[in-house]
Amino acid sequence: MNVLVVGAGLSGATLARSLAEAGVAVTVIDKRNHIAGNAFDYVNENNERIHKYGPHLFHCPKESPAVEFLSRFTEWIPYEHRVTALLANGNYVPLPVNAETIEKIYGVKFTNEEESKNFLKKITDTTLVPTNSDELFLASVGPTINDILFRPYTKKMWGVPADQIDIGVGARLPVRTNRDNRYFTDTFQALPKHGYTKMVERMLNHPLIHLSLGLSFSKEMEKRFDHCFLAVPIDYYFDYCHGTLPYRSIKFHHQRKLKDQPTPVVNFTDTNKYTRSTQWSLLPNSGKHPVNTVTLEEPCGLSQNPGEYYYPVQNKKSKELYKRYQKLAEDKADITFCGRTGLFKYLDMAPAVVLHLDMAKIFLANH
């Protein structure tokens, strides 16, 4: 068979490698001039490893098939990610919310976890059954912390208030009553020793994989292949016939600073236009330099950053719209939509690898 994979990111590379190892000839194309998709990283003139499209943190259960698969193409450096939020008074508090976060915002002190649990019950509405992210924040941390940490941040991140955002988005950020200040609690947390780009380069290094960069997909290409895996916006493919699926994009602004941040990533939860800053030299697979590169992220609509898709805006209306496109896709036997834009789904890296490993297995079983 002769298969086309559109998108040389982690999803496309996983598909391509899996199919090639089964004896399938695969052509991989990408409209960008580099591989690795939004996980693309590079080393700058200061020897710092920069993630061009924002920080990418790999985390999952250590038993995940993603760990076994990707470990063939990279060595790992253990790394447990930590994030703080900058408050209006200049203090920093841990995110996700934990006992220390509550103490600093309310000016209290807990001597054990039971005290923090009881305090949290007092400041939240335990009878509320959440149906959106704003209600979830109210039920989990109460109105004060919601107003400080979540409502302004969510509005600028997603372009709409939190009560218009699917509950699953808010559920990505847990609330803890202990003092665990790690952003993730997965049993496997690490960064590729030589970066994501090198890892994906090794994934695509196979005699049955042909790679072409700087090449955009067109429907004419379908005629030359037995099957096409398309990591392209599904609404774009169908000429937006049912309407446009909503996404948020990001503009990146680089600065140089002498002083270290308290954590590799700092969230700005106020109403200024930036959502977070990343100091790259604080990541363990980056080199160090006396002058640190710090990247600020400014969320925006796709109209302000055309073609740069980052976050699908998940709500009831957009999910129903996606289902209509999904119905159209079911009639395309020789096409499989994949990746974040093809599936209109926010995908962490490990789940994306597992999903596309399974996608390759199903394809091979049927052909």
What's the CA gap between 157 and 267, in Å, rounded?
A: 11
Conformational region of residue 85, where left means phi above 0, alpha means psi within -120 to 50, and beta covers everything else: beta
Residues 194/11, Cβ–Cβ less than 8 Å = no
Which amino acid, 196?
A: Y
Q: What backbone torsions phi and psi does residue 303 show, to the nearest 5 degrees? A: -65, -25
Name every residue whose Cβ is closer than 8 Å to that of residue 55 and which is 6 or more positions away in sequence.
Answer: 264, 265, 278, 283
3-state secondary structure 288-344: CCCCEEEEEEEEEEHHHCCCCCCEECCCHHHHHHHHHHHHHHCCCCCEEECHHHHHC
Helices and strands, counts by H and E, the chain: 12, 17
Tokens of 199: 């890892």
Q: The tokens 């790259």 sit on which residue?
A: 280
Task: For the chain, report the end-to-end CA distance as a whole number of angstroms.
Answer: 9
Positions annotated as catalytic residues are 172, 176, 248, 276, 297, 346, 348
Reading the block at residue 266, the tokens are 């700092």
